[in-house]
Structure 1
Amino acid sequence: MTDTVRTHVTGGVATVTLNRPAKKNALTTTMYAALADALQAAELDADVRAVVLRGDETVFCAGNDVADFLDHPQAGPEAPAYRFLRAIARFPKPVVAAVCGPAVGIGATMLLHCDLVYAGESATLLFPFVDLGLVPEAGSSLLLPELVGRHRAAEALLLGDPIPAAAALDAGLVNQVLPDAEVLDLAHAQAARLAAKPVASVIETKRLMRAGDQDAVLARIEAEGAVFARLLDGPEARSALTSFLRRDRSGPAAGPTAGAASAGRPGPR
């Protein structure tokens, strides 16, 4: 396990922490591998009955680390990014997310696979794939329209409009919005409630809720990945990613949402 992804187990709850706040928790190849390993370990550990997925109180996840992504393209089914996406899409136990600050690209799409999402007042979800010359990933082109409806999904995925915490609550993307300092405590409390329930009943209920959807989600992840890889080689995506990388290296961005976008591009492939 890398220090940029930390896992702590107590009381039947595994807390998986994105721990790279200086880089706005932008994901690297190593972090994807660590996240996949953490979920696999939590699935196999009978003492773990629920997972809390968290970032920092100032930022959940700014997407991919652009420099690392360009140096290590995520291609093929065994690439760390694919391993993580499959792991979270298939994960049988409840996952509770604690989200404060920006959740950009993969930082936003991974939340679609969580069972409960608690957001701080500072939380903002952003899906900037089209602006980067790419397409959505993590099955989000299927899951987001299912959750919020096609028109709202179009605002998020085609226009790339940011979704503040209150709007995310109204759209059904999060369960509750509360002060940032209270988010993690509530997420842990809810995970502890789940861990105290009959484990077989919890797992089977989650399986039944997702029955019929999982195969479609996994298939959509693969379909998105194929298009993503093709567009990534195109001039529009390369230009956009290079521009973001240049901006990130030139100095800090002006605000939290801009900072998240400049620190990391969305989604793996």
Structure 2
Amino acid sequence: MTDHVLHERRGAHLRLSLNRPERRNAITVAMYAALADAITAAQDNPDIRVITLEGEGVDFTGGNDLADFMKEMPQDGQTDIPVWRLLRALATNQLPLIAAVHGNAVGIGTTMLFHCDLVVAEEGTRFKMPFTELGLVPEAASSLILPRLAGRQLAAKYLLLGESFGVEEAERFGLVTHRAASGELAERLEAVVATLLSRPPEATRLTQRLLRGTSHDEVLERMDLENGHFSERLTSDEVRAAISAFFMSRQRA
């Protein structure tokens, strides 16, 4: 458990919020574990009907805490590290899952959204997946899901080039489902949650499962493929050089 992930029950609503605003909600290994445990435990709780993911402070998340992650690099054959437990929990989740995003949503801050049923984004939000910049490969089955949503060329723009994009573009290709005016994200999210909770519970649960269908098997298979490449990349000279350059640029900033 970590104080950097807030858990709050509001009746049938489980609110999970990244709570490390002083570091732009950069996600640590402990935070991955807390999120994975919370989402997994919710599956067996009949009193929980909807889960929301949010971020405290000015950003949804600046992505992975690279310094923390590099200290906890997975060993060969490891499949139970916290970040991958979270990704599997998202892929197999059977409760309506809503993300409310604002500011910056970097790396996993964007890829986790592919596993949400609904995404509410505040105007001005920027999405970015800078994996190749860091010598890495995509995660969270984004190499499978994003081309299906946006088409191969746009997926290449975001994954190969790592170009950022805004709310309008994200809504156009289907990542964002609801937009919120600046300063009105909480109210917009609350309205979406209230509408969802007003629907008959079993019909809502069954519809969510039907929408996901059997695709989670294919998604998990792609995650395993990506994770294998990701693990190999972590020990490469390219990654060491890219991450070193990243930290040097932050020191100069």
Q: Please indicate the TM-score interval, normalised by the length of the shorter structure.
A: over 0.9
Aligned to 1:63: 63
- Cα displacement (A) at 1:120: 0.8
Aligned to 1:195: 197
CA distance in structure 2 between the partners assigned to 1:180 and 1:12 by the alignment = 27
CA distance in structure 2 between the partners assigned to 1:238 and 1:62 by the alignment = 20
Quick check: 2:124–2:167 contact (8 Å CA) kept in 1?
Answer: yes
Percent same amino acid at aligned positions?
43
Secondary structure at 2:105 match in 1: strand
Deviations 1:161-195 (A, max 9, x none): 10111211122210122223111221122122222
Secondary structure at 1:44 match in 2: coil
- Cα displacement (A) at 1:109: 0.1
In structure 2, list runs of 5 or more residues that go unmatched.
none
Quick check: 1:125–1:162 contact (8 Å CA) kept in 2?
Answer: yes
Matched letter for residue 148 of structure 1: A
The answer to whether structure 1 residue 39 and structure 2 residue 39 are counterparts is yes
Deviations 1:98-124 (A, max 9, x none): 000110111100000001101111211
Give RMSD over aligned pairs: 1.4
- Cα displacement (A) at 1:93: 0.5
Quick check: 2:73–2:234 contact (8 Å CA) kept in 1?
Answer: no
Aligned to 1:264: none
Closer, same or farther: CA 212–43 of 1 in aligned 2, 3 Å? closer
CA distance in structure 2 between the partners assigned to 1:57 and 1:112 by the alignment = 22
- Cα displacement (A) at 1:57: 4.8
- Cα displacement (A) at 1:74: 3.6
Aligned to 2:233: 231
Quick check: 1:32–1:81 contact (8 Å CA) kept in 2?
Answer: yes
Quick check: 1:57–1:180 contact (8 Å CA) kept in 2?
Answer: no
Deviates more, 1:104-113 or 1:145-154: 145-154
- Cα displacement (A) at 1:50: 0.2
Aligned to 1:206: 208
Secondary structure at 1:118 match in 2: strand
Aligned to 1:9: 9
Aligned to 1:160: 162
Quick check: 2:63–2:109 contact (8 Å CA) kept in 1?
Answer: yes
Quick check: 2:124–2:182 contact (8 Å CA) kept in 1?
Answer: yes
In structure 1, list runs of 5 or more residues that go unmatched.
254-269
Question: TM-score under structure 2 normalisation?
Answer: 0.95
The answer to whether structure 1 residue 87 and structure 2 residue 92 are counterparts is no
Question: TM-score under structure 1 normalisation?
Answer: 0.89
The answer to whether structure 1 residue 220 and structure 2 residue 222 are counterparts is yes
Deviations 1:135-159 (A, max 9, x none): 1000100011111111111111111
Quick check: 1:51–1:191 contact (8 Å CA) kept in 2?
Answer: no
Relative contact order, higher structure (CA 8 A, sep 6+): 1
Aligned to 2:178: 176
CA distance in structure 2 between the partners assigned to 1:195 and 1:77 by the alignment = 35
Aligned to 1:259: none
Q: What is the aligned residue count?
A: 251
- Cα displacement (A) at 1:73: 1.1
